[in-house]
Amino acid sequence: MITELGHFALILAFMVAIVQTVVPLVGAHKRWTGWMAVAEPAAMIQFLLTAFAFAALTWAFVTSDFSLRLVTLNSHSAKPMIYKITGTWGNHEGSMLLWVLIVALFGAMAAWFGGNLPPTLKARVLAVQASIGVAFFAFIIFTSNPFLRLAVPPLDGQDLNPLLQDPGLAFHPPFLYLGYVGLSMAFSFAVAALIEGRVDAAWGRWVRPWTLAAWVFLTIGIGMGSWWAYYELGWGGFWFWDPVENASFMPWLLAAALLHSAIVVEKREALKSWTILLAILAFGFSLVGTFIVRSGLLTSVHAFANDPERGVFILMIMVFFTGGALTLYALRARAMEAKGVFGVVSRESALLANNVLLAVSCFVVFVGTMWPVIAEMFFDRKLTVGPPFFDMAFTPFMVVLGLILPVGAMIPWKRGSLGKAWRPLRIPFVFALALGALVWAIQTDRSALGPLGVFMGAWITMGAVIDLWSRTGKTRDLSRLTRLPRADWGKATAHFGMGVTFFAICGLVAWKQDDIRVVQIGETFEVAGFTMTLDDVRDVQGPNYYSTMGFITLEKNGRALGQLRPEKREYPVAQMPTTEAAIDYRVFRDVYVVIGDPQANGGWVIRTYVKPFANWMWAGTLLMSLGGLLSLTDRRFRVAAGARKVPDGVPAE
Amino acid sequence: MRGWIQATVLGLVLALPVLAVPVQAVQPDEILADPALEERARELSKGLRCLVCRNESIDESNADLARDLRLLVRERLVAGDDDDEVITFVVDRYGEYVLLQPKFTGSNWLLWAAGPFMLLLAAAVAFTYLRGREKAEPLQEAGLSPEESARLKRILEE
């Protein structure tokens, strides 16, 4: 019964979304206030209906209603409750429902917080947002309906893929989707502005919080996915340049670019047309990502042909929205004249350089991801584009970006002088260089990665500190810092986090150590200065799996650091094994232990990895998101959201 | 094939790269006695793709085929091949599909040049734009429309 109500609510939400697309658009065109006003309640109703449908599906999973095809395929009665709940979106249909729920959520939030928007812009934004909803409602209802029943329900389900039975599933996809879909708001604002034919500072101010929020969610989502891969996949890799990862990384890069270019629109009324284009592309890449992941195109060209219906549907959605928006852009972009005048050496140029680097690096990732398909289709070459390509072709952009970041962050608006901006940064730069050289001198191998990471990390983090320090004025009055706008704190925090992440990635890759050996029970062995003893290996039974658990004592210089319990699990229903690594997390390094197969002579294969600075990577990611959140709480987003720009933003230097 | 199916199912939901089955990678019995040779073998393995996995090197993969390839690489090294000879040997048998880093030859120059070319193009466009901005006359703000003035007045009074 609840299932049918959920199904019904989903179809109703589809209808409401259609109304919300058509009526306000016509209303805004004809200036009929009544028609425009439809958007707001419609957005709310659409969200509530979708939320109800989602709740109904969750209910079916929680109560293990195996008359539902989806529940049978992806759940099992013995599965722990948390995985029954998270299992709702641990499959194609459910995750698409989550996608569209978030589309509706953002629409409802725009209706809610958008009180200050001019009525026509608001009506158009909500209509465009609803049209995205319409496309995905149709996709769900016609090709991926989660509410289909089985004629003969089985006694029990086929269980969820064991790799997904992890707390990571509770957070990673929702955050990622909040990010992907959050970019739809920037897209809706961009298209609405194109229809409206007007982009000004106020528009920049309205669109920035949504972009910021989407970027923060994407950062958290990608960071968590990376951490999940790190502890779950069994050898501590954190980034694989896999097409699926790239699909989430490309929108992140463009969102970061959009974030910065929207500042220029807001403060200086320049880069307008480029910002609109970025907003369209950022969401376009979210759709490209969805298409890549859903269609299976990149797994194999043939997998795409096997399930063409879904792939083609998403391809059509992608072509319609991206193509439509770009056509509109081509027609209207000329109307957006820049107002601000500025020199080649200025904050505006620095932000433009940031945009060029981020956008081109996104392009590199895109070409690398698509190249195997292109090469096979047009050049008849079957080849692989793996991590070495991305490391070589992508990293230089990030290095250049990191190099100019501290200078660009401090150079004044309009017209600056490089010498002046450089002066306070001389000491950090020399200090960072010295640190890098020191590391180069003391490390044993000749890899340049470690020293580079140290230099870049030190340079970017110290640059962020100097940026704040320079705000204390000539008198070095620290109390000024407490009165700084939150956006400035956010900027420094996010940049600092980027420096930390930069350092951590280089450090981890450069200085990790590993060891593989056969260990007898009771045997003691040494890895990278750690003493480890395999005390015992036992069979343990979990709620829906059998586990072989190793008990390893970890010591350093005679001091016990704790017991590690790596596991090998077998899930009988899904008939799949998993490894559960045991990790001793510390500030400067992780010790990461995996247990392998028993050997003929009675020993066990034990793999040990020492991963320096692994935690710094997640900490850096968190700092970046924290910076975004700080910016988001800035007063001007709350107060002046609807007012026209009052000349305040540009500090006279 | 099983690996692909599982990977697809997982990939549908996550931006998590999915390796078919938990990684066991290099087994102790594969390791060569000579540490220098083993080091070279590991380095070479990192650049070769496991043919049945997604974007995974044979050094990381636990598939049987990956194990065969690892053993093959070590066999060639023990036989005295240098690094290039080993790679050529493997590519001759399995095609360039096994190389994680695409070659610089033929149509692939498009792939490698795409980034630098785009950067040059973008930099040129950006620079032209900047020069334009530098020389531009400051545009006068188009005044507010009557309804906007009313709105501004209302907001300021609040």
Residue A562: pLDDT over 50: yes
Cβ-defined contact of B96 to A95 (cutoff 8 Å): no
Q: Determine contact, residues A555/A576, Cβ cutoff 8 Å.
A: no
Does the distance separating the beta carbons of B31 and A367 come in below 8 Å? no
**pLDDT (tens digit per residue) in A273-293:** 899 999 999 999 998 888 877
State whether A388 and B25 contact (CB < 8 Å): no
Please answer yes or no on whether B21 and A244 come within 8 Å at the CB atom.
no
**Higher confidence at residue A644 or residue A123?**
A123
Partner residue opposite A173 with nearest CB, options B14, B114, B127: B14
Answer whether A383 touches B (CB < 8 Å): yes
Closest CA to A271 of A207, A348, A189: A348
Which pLDDT score, from 0 to 100, does residue A390 have? 93
Q: For chains A and B, what is the number of CB pairs under 8 angstroms?
A: 216
Decide if A502 contacts A453 (C-beta within 8 A). Answer: yes
CA distance A384 to A378: 15
Is the Cβ pair A244, B18 closer than 8 Å?
yes
Q: What gap in Å lies between CA A209 and CA A529, rounded to an integer? A: 48
The CA distance from A48 to A23, in Å, is 20
Query: Quick check: A391 pLDDT over 50?
Result: yes
CA distance A434 to chain B (A): 30
pLDDT at residue number B158: 62
DSSP 8-state symbol, A513? E
DSSP B57: B
Mean pLDDT lowest among A50-64, A135-149, B133-147: B133-147
Q: Would an 8 Å CB–CB cutoff place B128 in contact with chain A?
A: no
Over the range B94-107, which residues count as b (16 or more CB within 10 Å of their CB) and which as e? Answer: bebebbbbbeeeee
Q: How far is B52 from chain A (nearest CA, A)?
A: 11
**Exposed / middle / buried, residue B142 (Cβ in 10 Å: 0-12, 13-18, 19+):** exposed
Show residues of chain A in contact with B139, CB under 8 Å. Answer: 337-339
The three-point CA angle A194-A196-A198 to 5° equals 75
The set of residues, in sequence order, having a beta carbon less than 8 Å from that of A95 and lying 6+ positions away, is A89, A173, A177, B12, B13
Closest by alpha carbon to B59, among B86, B35, B77, B38? B38
User: CA A597 → CA A82, A532, A571, B56, distances in Å?
Assistant: 30, 18, 16, 21
Give the dihedral of Cα atoms A279, A282, A287, A293; nearest 10 deg.
-170
For residues A429 and A425, give the distance between their C-alpha atoms in angstroms, rounded to a whole number. 6
Q: Is B11's Cβ below 8 Å from some Cβ in A?
A: yes
Backbone Cα Rg of chain B = 28
B7 pLDDT higher than 50:
no
Q: Cα-Cα-Cα-Cα dihedral of A154, A156, A160, A165, to 10°? A: 160
Question: Cβ contact (<8 Å) for B22 and A568?
Answer: yes
Least confident of A178-182, A310-314, A628-632, B71-75: A310-314
- pLDDT-derived band at B21 (thresholds 50, 70, 90) equals very low
Strand partners, A585: A590
Q: Model-level pTM?
A: 0.89
**Partner B contacted by A241 (CB < 8 A):** yes
ipTM surpassing 0.95, yes or no?
A: no
State yes or no: pLDDT of A11 exceeds 90. Answer: yes
Q: What is the DSSP letter of B102?
A: -
Contact between chains at B57 and A386 (C-beta distance less than 8 A):
yes
| B:24-83 residues touching chain A, CB 8 A cutoff | 24-28, 31, 47, 49, 54-57, 60
**C-alpha distance from residue A328 to each of A196, A307, A325, A332, A467 (Å):** 11, 32, 5, 6, 40
A119 touches chain B (CB under 8 A): no
Residue A176's closest CA among B14, B10, B8, B9? B14
Q: At what angle do helices A201-232 and A272-295 cross, to 10 degrees?
A: 30
Chain A hits for B108, CB-CB cut-off 8 Å, are 375, 381, 383
From the CA of A246, how many Å to the nearest CA of chain B? 8
The answer to whether the beta carbons of residues A462 and A433 sit under 8 Å apart is no
CA A530 to CA A38: how far, in whole Å?
A: 67
